Structure 1
C-alpha cells in the first residue's frame, strides 16, 4: 500500500501556483476579448471599405451642390429616424445582452412601433422640406431619402445591434457588411447610369436599401418567436422615448450643422463640409468597434468603483488613436492630393484644419456609451440636448462672422473642446461621483 501511495504521488501533476493561474486566466480573457474585437472589427473593416468605395463614388459623381442637398436631406432623415420604433431598438439590444428570454417580446414591440413611427416621421419631415428644400429637389425625391433613413436602414441597424448583444459578432458583421455592399452596388449602378442628378440617385438609393433591409430580416434576424406584449410597450415606453431623445440629441450633434449651414450658406459649402465630416468619421471606425464590446461588458458587469480609472485610461487611448488616424490621413493626402477624387481634394481644405475634432467627437460618443450602459438616460437626454443647441448656435455665429471656410473651420476645434468639457463634467459627476458617495 505504501508503494502504491508513493507511485500515486509520483504521477500526480505538479500543483499550479496562484500567480500562474492568474496569468493563465488573464491570458485567456485577453485572447477571448481580442478574438471578439477582431470579429467585430472584421465586419466593421469590411463595412469601412465598402462605405469608402460607396462614398468616394458618390462624392465624385454628384456635383458638390447635389452632394450638399443629398447630405442635408439624409441628415434630416437620420435625425428623425432616431425616434423610429419609439426607441425600443435600444431596449432590444439591452435585452439581447442581458435577459435573452425577453428578446422576442422586445423585438415584436420594436416592429409594431416601427410601423407607427414611419408615417409619422414622413409627416414630420414635410415642414422641413417646404422651409429648406423646396427649391433644391422634388418632394418625391425628398421623401424617398427620408424613408430610407427613418425606416429601412433603422431595421438593418437594429438587427445588427441585437446580434452584437447576443455575442454573435460574425452575424452582426455580416448584417452590416451585406447592407453596405448593397449600398455600394447602388452607387456603382448610379455612376454607370449616365444620369448623375440627385433625383436619379434617390430612386437607386431607395431600391438598394430596400433590398438590404429584406436581406437582413430574412438571413440574420435571430430565429425567435415574436410576441407582442402590452406590458413591455406601456411599461417601458417612457424609458425608450428617453433613449430616443438622447439618441436624437447625440445624432443631431453630428447632423444639425449641415442644416444650419444650408440655411446660412450655399449648397456647395454644405457639400464640402459633408465630405469633410464623412472623411473624419472614417478615422473613428476602429474605436467604434471597441465601443460594441465595452458597452456590452459594462451592461453585464454593472458598476464597479475601479471603473473610474479605467474609463479615464480609455479616454486617453481614444484621443491618441483618433489623432493618429487623422494625422495618417493628412500625410497620405499631402503626398497624393487627388487620391480620393477631385471633389474630396477640394474638401481637403477644410478637414486639414480640423485637427482636434475627431478626438473630441469620439470622446463625446464614448460618454454617450457610458450614460447608456449605466442607464443614466435622463441626464444623457438633457446633456445631449444642451450640446446640440450650443453647437448649432456656435456654428451659426462662426458662419456669420467668418466668410472663409478655412477660418471658421479652425474655430470648430474650440467649439468641440467646449462641448467636451461640459460633457466630462456631466458624465463623471452624475455616474461616478454620485455612485461613489
Structure 2
C-alpha cells in the first residue's frame, strides 16, 4: 500500500479515535462529576506510566526489524506477546498494591484490578496487533483497531445513568467488551501471523534495545500523567478532575499530529540508514507542518469555550482557568516529537531514552515541590518539562 493511502488510513483511524475518545471523556466526566472523574484520572495516570513496560517495547522491535530487514514478523510477534503476558501479570499486581498505599480505601480495589488488566494487557495486546499491521503497511487495519478499542470505553457509558456505583459498573462492562474485541482481532490476525513458538534467546538479545523503547514511552507518560496521581495524593480530587479534563482536551488537540507521526515513524528507520541529511529534511517538514497545525487547533479550542463548558456542565466552570496555559503543550510537542523520532530512526534510541528519563525525573521532583506549595502550580510543572 502506498505511503499516501497509509497516511489517509492512519489519519482517518486517528480522527475516528479522536471523536470516540473525546465523546467518551466528555460524557464520562459529565456522568461522574468532577470529583469522581478526578479519582479515575489519578488512578489511570498511574496505570499509564506503567503501560509502556507491559510488553517492554518489543512491538517497536517488530516494526524496526520489518522496516530495516524485511524479516518475518512471526517470531517477533510471538516474543512480544509472551513478554506482554508476563509483564502484565507482574505490573498489575504491583500497581494494585501501590494504588492502595497511595489512596487507601478511597478507590475500590476491584476497580483498580480490572483497570490494570484492561490497560496493561488487553489494550496493549490490541496495540501490538496494530503494530503488526503498521509493520506490513496495512494501516487501515491499525485504524480499525484504534477506533474499536476506543469504543470499548465509550459503549459502557450507556448504563451509567441507571446505576449508583458508576465507576465499578463502567469497568465491568468495559472488561467484557474489551475481552471480546481482543479475541476477534486476534482471530483476524491469523491471516497475517503464523503461530510460532517464542525464542528466549532472541528475547534476551532484544531486551536491551526494547527496554530503551519502554523507558522512552514511560518517561513521556511520567511527565504527561504522573502529576495527576501526585495531585490526587497532595491536592483535591476536584482539582484533579478539572486539570485532567483540561489535559485531555490538549491531548485530543494533538491526536491528528500523532497520526502523522505514527505514519512517518517507520520512514525514520529507513532514512536513518542513508545518513543525517534525509532524516533532517523529513524532520524539518514535519516540525513546521505540526507547529502550524498546533497553533490553529489551540485557537479553535480557545474560541470554543462556551460550547465546551455547556457540554461539561456547571461543575467544570473553572476549566478555562487552566486550559489556556496547557494549550502551549501541543505547540511545544510539535517541535520536539519529530526530533525525537529522528534520533530513534538514526539508531540512537539509547540517547533519546536517557534524555526522557532526565525530563521525567525533573518533572516528578518539580511536581511534588510545586503542588505542595499550591496545587494550581501543577500547570507550571507541565510547561517547564
Both proteins in one fold, TM over 0.5: yes
Q: Counterpart of 1:154? A: 124
Write the distance in 1 (CA, Å) between the matches of 2:379 and 2:42: 22
Residues 181, 381 of structure 1: alpha-carbon distance in 2 compared, 3 angstrom cutoff: same
Write the distance in 2 (CA, Å) between the matches of 1:235 and 1:246: 19
Instruction: Say whether 1:259 aligns with 2:237.
Output: no
Q: 2:169 is matched with which residue: 190, 197, 200?
A: 200
Alpha-carbon offset, residue 345 of structure 1 = 4.4
| Structure of higher CA gyration radius | 1
Larger displacement relative to structure 2 (252-261 or 301-310): 301-310
Alpha-carbon offset, residue 222 of structure 1 = 5.2
Write the distance in 2 (CA, Å) between the matches of 1:277 and 1:68: 12
Number of residue equivalences: 382
Residue-by-residue CA offset, 1:113-155 (whole Å, 9 max, x unaligned): 1221122112221331232121312222211111111111001
Write the distance in 2 (CA, Å) between the matches of 1:367 and 1:178: 30
Q: Counterpart of 2:185? A: 216
Instruction: Say whether 1:386 aligns with 2:358.
Output: yes
Q: Counterpart of 1:352? A: 324
Write the distance in 2 (CA, Å) between the matches of 1:116 and 1:319: 40
Q: Counterpart of 1:292? A: 262
**Where in structure 2 are the equivalents of 1:363-382 lying within 5 Å?**
363-382=335-354
Q: Counterpart of 2:6? A: 36
Answer whether contact 2:67 2:266 (CA < 8 A) is retained: yes
Query: Secondary structure in 2 aligned to 1:284?
Result: helix
Query: Secondary structure in 2 aligned to 1:338?
Result: helix
Write the distance in 2 (CA, Å) between the matches of 1:100 and 1:210: 31
Answer whether contact 2:42 2:229 (CA < 8 A) is retained: yes
Q: Counterpart of 1:10? A: none
Alpha-carbon offset, residue 260 of structure 1 = 1.8
Q: Counterpart of 1:237? A: 207
Larger displacement relative to structure 2 (289-298 or 365-374): 365-374
Alpha-carbon offset, residue 355 of structure 1 = 3.6
Larger displacement relative to structure 2 (129-138 or 149-158): 129-138
Q: 2:374 is matched with which residue: 394, 397, 402?
A: 402
Answer whether contact 1:37 1:290 (CA < 8 A) is retained: yes
Residues 395, 221 of structure 1: alpha-carbon distance in 2 compared, 3 angstrom cutoff: farther
Alpha-carbon offset, residue 100 of structure 1 = 4.0
Q: 1:73 is matched with which residue: 26, 43, 53?
A: 43
Instruction: Say whether 1:325 aligns with 2:294.
Output: no
Alpha-carbon offset, residue 278 of structure 1 = 0.6
Query: Secondary structure in 1 aligned to 2:56?
Result: helix
Larger displacement relative to structure 2 (317-326 or 352-361): 352-361
Write the distance in 2 (CA, Å) between the matches of 1:337 and 1:366: 33
Instruction: Say whether 1:187 aligns with 2:157.
Output: yes
Higher relative contact order (CA 8 A, sep 6+): 2
Alpha-carbon offset, residue 80 of structure 1 = 1.5
Residues 266, 171 of structure 1: alpha-carbon distance in 2 compared, 3 angstrom cutoff: same
Write the distance in 1 (CA, Å) between the matches of 2:156 and 2:7: 29
The TM-score with structure 1 as length reference comes to 0.81
Answer whether contact 1:148 1:209 (CA < 8 A) is retained: yes
Write the distance in 2 (CA, Å) between the matches of 1:85 and 1:309: 32
Q: Counterpart of 1:305? A: 276
Write the distance in 1 (CA, Å) between the matches of 2:36 and 2:244: 11
Write the distance in 2 (CA, Å) between the matches of 1:336 and 1:83: 35
Answer whether contact 2:212 2:350 (CA < 8 A) is retained: yes
User: Which 4+ stretches in 1 moved above 6 angstroms?
Assistant: none
Q: Counterpart of 1:87? A: 57
Alpha-carbon offset, residue 193 of structure 1 = 3.3
Give RMSD over aligned pairs: 2.3
Answer whether contact 1:273 1:347 (CA < 8 A) is retained: yes
Q: Which runs of 5+ in 1 are unaligned?
A: 1-30, 420-437
Write the distance in 2 (CA, Å) between the matches of 1:333 and 1:221: 47
Alpha-carbon offset, residue 255 of structure 1 = 1.3
Alpha-carbon offset, residue 283 of structure 1 = 0.7
The TM-score with structure 2 as length reference comes to 0.91
